């Protein structure tokens, strides 16, 4: 990790840094963008260190093969994307991209699927347009952490073929550490800190105008989008044991 510290020390330091940001903006809406910027920056810097010397990735932002997997996100990432979508929905609609309708439909079709069911559905993320992510700069850590070395095998997997896709371990590990550090800091601050299925969570956040306010006050307006295979009690115990 950066500064040559181990994963445990990195997790604690990153969690403390997120806590400092939360303390500085506790109930203000700009907290969402600040936490996400911090998370994305930490991911980028540390993955660059950890992946130094690895073979070149096949991912360059112009391929959406993996955008058919289930995406999970923390609440700040959901609210950041929801704001981008609501601010830009009219401009997208002028180009024939009915993003709000797409997200409603994706929630109905995909919002309750398990990871395996989601993979089998082979449905593209509603933010994909002509194989490009409409919110690429704001994509969640889960998307950033999925990086592959071989485009052909990604495309084959996206077609439903049973192939091994070589993916970057440093991306997976750093994504997990940064995501966990962010969740640990949210938990310490009494903010909802689960992992949410992105389609359902976006639909909830876009449908309820006061969802962000509720989250900032310590409620969880995204409860219906929580993924069932993320155990809050177990994760909380792991964070406690790690000293977050
Ligand atoms: S948010 Fe963007 S990068 Fe992530 S799955 Fe959707 S289209 Fe792909």
pLDDT in tens, 215-228: 999 999 999 999 99
Euclidean distance between CA atoms 149 and 214, whole angstroms: 41
Task: Check if the beta carbon of residue 223 is closer than 8 Å to that of residue 240.
Answer: no
Residues lining ligand 1, judged by CB closer than 6 Å? Answer: 64, 67, 71, 125, 127-128, 133, 135, 139, 143
- Split into its structural domains, the chain has a count of 1
Q: pLDDT, tens digit, for every residue of 136-195?
A: 999 999 999 998 888 888 888 877 788 888 889 999 999 999 999 999 999 999 999 999
Q: Which protein residue has the closest C-alpha to ligand 1 atom 5?
A: 67
Q: Helix, strand or coil for residue 196?
A: strand
Q: Which protein residue has the closest C-alpha to ligand 1 atom 4?
A: 143
Residue 22 C-alpha to ligand 1 middle, in angstroms? 26
Of the chain, the end-to-end C-alpha distance in Å amounts to: 17
pLDDT level of residue 3 (50, 70, 90 thresholds): low
Residue 144 C-alpha to ligand 1 middle, in angstroms? 9
Domain with 207 in it:
2-241
Q: Which protein residue has the closest C-alpha to ligand 1 atom 8?
A: 67
Mean pLDDT score, 13-30: 93
The pLDDT of residue 222 is: 98
Q: Which of 181, 184, 191, 197 is nearest to 217 (CA)?
A: 191
- Of 198 and 155, the structure prediction assigns the larger pLDDT to 198
pLDDT at 19 over 90: yes
Q: Helix, strand or coil for residue 153?
A: helix
Residue 227 C-alpha to ligand 1 middle, in angstroms? 18
Per the structure block, which two tokens stand in for 35? 């936490």
pLDDT at 210 over 70: yes
């Amino acid at each position: 990790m950066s500064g040559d510290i181990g994963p445990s020390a990195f997790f604690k330091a990153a969690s403390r840094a997120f806590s400092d940001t939360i303390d500085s903006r506790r109930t203000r809406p700009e907290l969402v963008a600040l936490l996400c910027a911090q998370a994305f920056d930490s991911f980028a810097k540390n993955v660059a260190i950890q992946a130094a010397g690895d073979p070149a990735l096949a991912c360059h932002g112009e391929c959406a093969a993996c955008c058919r997997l289930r995406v999970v996100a923390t609440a700040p990432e959901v609210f950041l994307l929801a704001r981008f979508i609501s601010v830009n929905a009219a401009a997208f609609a002028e180009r024939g991209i009915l993003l709000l309708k797409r997200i409603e439909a994706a929630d109905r079709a995909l919002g309750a699927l398990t990871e395996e069911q989601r993979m089998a559905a082979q449905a593209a993320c509603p933010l994909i347009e002509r194989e490009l992510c409409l919110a690429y700069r704001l994509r969640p850590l889960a998307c950033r952490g999925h990086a592959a070395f071989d485009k052909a095998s990604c495309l084959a997997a996206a077609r439903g073929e049973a192939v091994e896709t070589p993916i970057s371990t440093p991306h997976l590990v750093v994504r997990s550490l940064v995501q966990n550090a962010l969740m640990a800091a949210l938990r310490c601050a009494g903010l909802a800190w689960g992992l949410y299925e992105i389609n359902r969570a976006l639909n909830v956040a876009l449908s309820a105008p006061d969802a962000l306010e509720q989250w900032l006050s310590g409620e969880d307006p995204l409860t219906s989008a929580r993924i069932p295979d993320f155990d809050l009690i177990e994760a909380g115990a792991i964070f406690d044991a790690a000293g977050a």
